[in-house]
Chains A and B, each alone.
Chain A
Amino acid sequence: MRKYKHVLAVIVLTVVGTVGLYALFRFVLFRFPTQASAEAVVIDNFADIHFWLQALLFAMIMVIMLYAVFAFRRQPDDESEGPHVHGHTGLEIIWTIVPTAVVIGFAVYSVGILNGLLAPEQGERTIEVVGRQWSWKFVYPDIDNKSGTELGLLVNEPVVLHMWAEDVIHSFWVPEFRVKQDLLPVQNSETDFYVLRFTPTEEGEFKVRCAEICGLQHSQMFATVRVMNQTDYDAWAAEIASKPSLDELEGMTAEERGQFWYTEFGCNGCHSLDGAAMAGPTWLNLFGKEEQLADGTAVIVDDAYLYESILNPNAKITAGYNPGIMPQNFEDQFNNFGWGNADQITNDLIAFIRTVTDDTSASSE
């Protein structure tokens, strides 16, 4: 009878513990961000089953262990040994077979859910995503292949992302959407790309947060995701469509193009226009200035210095900054853009840098 008293106590405590732990996990410790995609609902519901299993297993083992410690603790005057029990083949078989059935059940159930998450949907919009240290570029094939550094999505419309990286591995993750996929550098982005599908269901602004270590500013590799209703989306798409086409770039001045390149190639990730400290020197009043270099020498910032510093950033390092931070492949990136070549784009940027002085930023504000 005593034996059953202990077993009963353990069962009751395990049940109470499971419910209590589930509540702790679900409502206090393990709270998901907003559910902003159709996939989030499916994944969170599945996670909920996991939370129940976690609560049950944790409660069961801890209850047996702690109960044993309190109930069977050696009394100070007790020198005897415990009962001589070597094992129990029946129990061992049970706690091998039951978990096997449970994990197979979980795996089979997961396969069903995964297939649902990966299946193409009717009328999905394709968007190309390019990751590079440390910014994102989104290309919209249905808006004349125009691109931007912001991901614009129409609410409740399924999207499929075709993603690749230009330099190192990055990973696309918007916690509110739940799903994640790495982007690897590829040889041919026409044929080799990584696919991610989801359907945003909530309007609002979210952030892509790069989820694979990609070097110095990994923790700053964000992009804004804007999920919009039809009206807002149309206005936004019109704005993207009005970005200069390749022909229009031809007609712009070097300074205007330079300003466009500044955001297009992500220079804005590290170089401010207002003097703010970022990973690279600010462009405000940069031209003509005397710059102290890390090797102790000084240099006047002129065309030749800027040209070298854009295409071969490690050649001269400004004091207080580290080598190897700025991507060293801008020559390739510029040549592959589809307009002009590295020489022209570099000169455009220099022309733009010349205009970034206190006077212009004051007048533009």
Chain B
Amino acid sequence: MKFLLGFWYILTSSYIKGLVGQALFTFFGFQFLNWLLPENLSEFSLMIGSIIGVIGFLLFAGVLTDWLLWIGGKETPLKHGAPEGKPEWTRYLRPDVNHKVIGIQYGYTSLFVLLVGGLFALIFRLELAQPGMQLLDYQQYNTLFSAHGIVMIVSILLGVGAMTNYLVPLMIGASDMSFPRLNAFSYWVSIPAIVLVLTGMAVGGWDTGWVGYPTLSLIGPLGTMFFLLGFYINGISSIAGSINILVTAATLRAPGMSLFRMPIFVWAALATSLIQFTATQTIAVALTLNLLERATGLVFFNPAQGGQPLLYQHLFWFYSHPVVYVFVLPGLGIISELLPVFARKPLFGYKWIALSSLGIALVGFLVWAHHMFVAGMSDTLRIVFMFSTLFVAIPTGVKFFSWVATLWEGKIELSTPMLFVLGAISVFLIGGITGPILGTVPTDLHLHDSYWVVGHFHATMFGGFIFPFFAGLYYWYPKITGHMYKEALGKLHFWLMVPGFWVMSFGQMSAGIMGMNRRYADYDPALGIETQQVLVTLAAFVIGWSVLIMIYNFIASARTEPVAAINPWGSRSPEWQIPSPAPEFNYDVPFEVVGDPYDYGLDKPYIRFQAAAGD
């Protein structure tokens, strides 16, 4: 009976209602426009119908309800807690305004999408294990690798949302975000975006990769349109979410928390949000022009009609390079946040690390054209962007040196989160050292668009996001659930994933330097890279299994493991000074900041709870 009731709650959840709304609105929107407009605009009708579908999702899911009532002049108080008469967990099935609920919604959605994107990768890695086509045809392969790219990007953006949403208000002593309804909107609008991308796979797929360069994107199958549109809608989530983080961190900090007394992760969240807030518009422009040229014949990129295909690449990378730092800065923040706790030492060079995040964010805006070193730019520009690209190494180097200096002479404790932090440093280091050879144009002439790039990129993503994200999940798991995870399984996960990743990454780079192209459905056995291909595939499966172990660990531990201590890591950070899971409004008693966040080894506290009003 309880099971059936739970099933009923899920069936009537906002996810399902939203999907129904999206389907209905897309269908009727398309039918109406198709009837209204000339026949050669049917793709345009479908595109606008799909946008109407997104509105349908939001309406049916109840994300817009409060705002619509406001238009009608009705007051709507913020609702807190589970709906009346329903269990606590049903909060997660509907638009909730609490930042911790939204953070967790972001988190499990991110993990789910990560598994989907990972599954795509495993399928095409199986195909690539041997030369010749065994499992897939070209169309399926191209769709899978293209979808792997965009699905993983969505997953990472959701993961970034999970970390910043859950942690920033807790860390700065706020009771919630500045705009709770906008916060819910940011999360929920990403769901129809994922649906659009997956729809694209079902209606013919697409073969442009995640970059969607014209003129290929202009002649690709219908799936291309859905992919571009899903990418676009997800950008709305990024912009809305980043505004919230910026305003929250700027206005809701506890008394005494000056900028240089913020937990270091908040600096990372600020730098990330600055990039998201300012760069995402550019990709919106690029995608809009691409979609309109496809659907209506307006000319922007097709040179046969006077367009300029390189224009798209500039607009695209002006967002898509900085967004790489959106992916990695929160992860690097997690590394800086956790190292002092497990080394029992202050963070070495706090101000330098904080400012290096801003430095990376700034320089990150000036390097986009290194993605186009062989695209046909002028040679002068190649040189300018080579200089700016290599400058990224400087703030990144500051982080590495500060991290190992933090470890030096510490009292190092190797719990699972710390293992993942160390793994993250090693993997991000692989990404870091393999970058300059791509940054100097002469060597890039060989390596550009080869598997070297694939290896380098995956190392930066795993080192800058995946490993720190997992470290964070283990570290804050007791905060989120009130239970401790199973340490042995956590360590097993680590010892499978780190060697797995090292093999995968070096294998990819090795294949690339020997002549393996990226985005190839098949490879030429004459290149002599069979060993690499087999090892990369095996390693990918090891990584996949290890992630499943983590998910099992999290699900099983929430039910069986004993209640965790309030502050199991001995952290000085404010969120560990209150019960787990954190109360609805975080701090029943407000605190003020009286010290530095990472003064391990000193008796002076970071925060002091203010005396309750009645005392």
Contact = CB atoms under 8 A, between A and B. Distances in A.
A46 B443 CA distance: 7
Interface in A200-225: 207, 209-220, 222
Interface stretch (B55-63, B154-162, B433-441): B433-441
Interface stretch (A87-95, A144-152, A154-162, A228-236): A87-95
Contacts of A82: 343-345, 409-411, 600-601
Contact of A92 (B209, B352, B409, B599): B352
A32 B514 contact: yes
B440 to A, nearest CB: 4
Given A83-B601, A92-B349, A184-B303, A107 B440 contact: yes
Interface residues of A, number: 88
Contacts of A210: 517
B521 A50 contact: no
A301 interface: no
Contact of B408 (A39, A68, A74, A110): A68
A31 B440 contact: no
Contacts of A57: 429, 432-433
A89 B298 CA distance: 56
A96 B396 CA distance: 10
Interface residues of B, number: 96
Contacts of B348: 85-88
Interface stretch (B104-112, B243-251, B380-388, B486-494): B380-388
A216 B386 CA distance: 32
Contacts of B215: 167-169, 185
Contacts of A32: 446, 513-514
A298 B67 CA distance: 56
Interface string A27-65: 001111100000100110011001001100110011011
Interface string B394-408: 100110111111011
A70 B71 CA distance: 63
B426 interface: yes
B92 interface: no
Interface stretch (A173-181, A287-295, A349-357): A173-181
Contacts of A211: 374, 448-450, 517
Contacts of A96: 394, 397-398
Nearest to A118: B379
Interface stretch (A98-106, A245-253, A254-262): A98-106
B556 interface: no
Nearest to A332: B304
B429 A31 contact: no
B38 interface: no
A47 B517 contact: no
Contacts of B514: 31-33, 175
B219 A328 contact: yes
Contacts of B446: 32, 43, 47, 175, 178-180
A216 B139 contact: yes
B350 interface: yes
A197 to B, nearest CB: 11
B407 A64 contact: yes
A69 interface: yes
B449 A68 contact: no
Contacts of B306: 187
Contacts of A171: 374, 449
A104 B600 CA distance: 38
Contact of A216 (B207, B374, B382, B403): B207
Interface in B95-150: 137-139, 142
A91 B434 CA distance: 25
A103 B303 CA distance: 37
Given A73-B412, A211-B450, 13 more contacts: A54-B433, A65-B403, A69-B414, A83-B345, A85-B409, A92-B349, A99-B397, A168-B213, A169-B215, A169-B375, A182-B374, A219-B517, A323-B221
7 contacts: A50-B436, A50-B443, A72-B411, A81-B411, A167-B219, A168-B216, A180-B449
Shortest beta-carbon contacts, A-B, top 4: A175-B515, A82-B345, A219-B520, A84-B601
